[in-house]
């Protein structure tokens, strides 16, 4: 998505200032939000003494839907904190790590993750955190609007798991069994088959440190910050409810791209 430089800068400044609100999120943005962003941008730029973010810097994209779009499965407050605070912190941490590594500035994040074993831990933690959350936001849509797996994906799910329900069960088991914080994944593994896996912390299957490597098709965040306000300690309930917001067209497109490669 391309934006006029002024709006892009405004969004960077806005998120950096911790003022990211529902009004600044994607399509809900109106004239009032625009002028507020411009004001915040000018103020932040002046405070920081910065001109404009360098091109290699990663930025926090607005959510592809409103903060309350996933209710009642995921509440607006959780989305706002998760996106505006947690995800922003990963973006900031990744950019901080890149400051010290000019050789990696401008390198695709996937390529950085593939060699993360040889890099400072910040690339694994914050680089993984940024990639995982971008992927996560774009794996979800409003309840009841996610459609169904494509014929190709449905066939591959049946082949690997027996049925869609059996795949969901395996995925929920992987997420529920991940000790502490981490992610559950449906991936196309290196043999070209679908597989369910889980990773700790902000690791993902693109990393050379992952026990099972492959191309993610779906991923669910099982850190407590993803569900605690609504679900408290009931991770299993969150995992079960999450399927109502899965965007199957996104998953199906990822599957097609993964098996064409
Ligand atoms: Mn998270």
pLDDT tens digit sequence for 105-133: 999 999 999 999 999 999 999 999 999 99
Give me the helices (H) in the chain, please. Answer: 5-16, 31-48, 76-81, 88-99, 109-113, 121-122, 128-137, 151-161, 164-177, 228-231, 235-242, 248-260
The sheet carrying 194-200 orders its strands as 194-200, 182-189, 214-221
Alpha carbon distances (Å) from 7 to 12, 13, 34, 194, 208: 9, 10, 8, 40, 36
How many angstroms is it from 201 CA to the middle of ligand 1? Answer: 9
Contact present, 76 and 67 (Cβ < 8 Å): yes
CA–CA dist 29, 72 (Å, integer): 22
- Per-residue pLDDT, 52: 54
> What mean pLDDT comes out for the span 231-243?
97
Q: What spacing in Å lies between the alpha carbon of 67 and ligand 1's midpoint?
A: 15
Distance in Å, CA 91 to ligand 1 centroid: 12
Q: What pTM did the predictor assign? A: 0.80
Token pair for 53: 């973010």
Nearest to 185 by CA among 175, 83, 166, 177: 175
Q: What is the pLDDT of residue 24?
A: 35
If you measure from the C-alpha of residue 165 to the centroid of ligand 1, how many angstroms do you get, rounded to a whole number? 25
Q: How far is the CA of 225 from the centre of ligand 1 (A)?
A: 6
Distance 242 CA to ligand 1 centre (A): 14
């Amino acid at each position: 998505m391309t934006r006029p430089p002024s709006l892009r800068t405004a969004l960077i400044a806005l998120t950096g200032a911790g003022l990211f609100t529902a009004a600044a999120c994607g399509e809900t943005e109106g004239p009032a939000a625009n002028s507020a962003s411009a004001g915040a941008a000018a103020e932040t730029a002046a405070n920081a003494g910065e001109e404009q973010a360098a091109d290699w810097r990663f930025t926090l994209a607005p959510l592809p839907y409103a903060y309350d779009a996933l209710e009642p499965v995921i509440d607006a407050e959780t989305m706002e904190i998760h996106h505006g605070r947690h995800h922003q912190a990963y973006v900031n941490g990744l950019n901080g790590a890149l400051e010290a590594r000019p050789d990696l500035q401008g390198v695709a994040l996937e390529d950085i993750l593939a060699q993360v074993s040889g890099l400072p831990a910040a690339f694994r933690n914050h680089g993984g955190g940024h990639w995982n959350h971008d992927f996560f936001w774009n794996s979800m849509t409003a309840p009841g609007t996610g459609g169904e797996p494509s014929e190709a994906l449905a066939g591959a799910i049946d082949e690997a798991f027996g049925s869609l329900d059996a795949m969901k069960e395996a995925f929920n088991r992987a997420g529920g069994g991940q000790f502490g914080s981490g992610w559950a994944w449906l991936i196309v593994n290196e043999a070209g088959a679908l597989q369910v896996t889980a990773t700790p912390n902000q690791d993902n299957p693109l990393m050379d440190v992952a026990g099972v490597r492959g191309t993610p098709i779906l991923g669910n965040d099982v850190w407590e910050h993803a569900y605690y306000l609504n679900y408290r300690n009931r991770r299993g309930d969150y995992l079960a409810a999450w399927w109502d917001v899965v965007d199957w067209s996104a998953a199906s497109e990822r599957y097609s791209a993964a098996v064409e490669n």
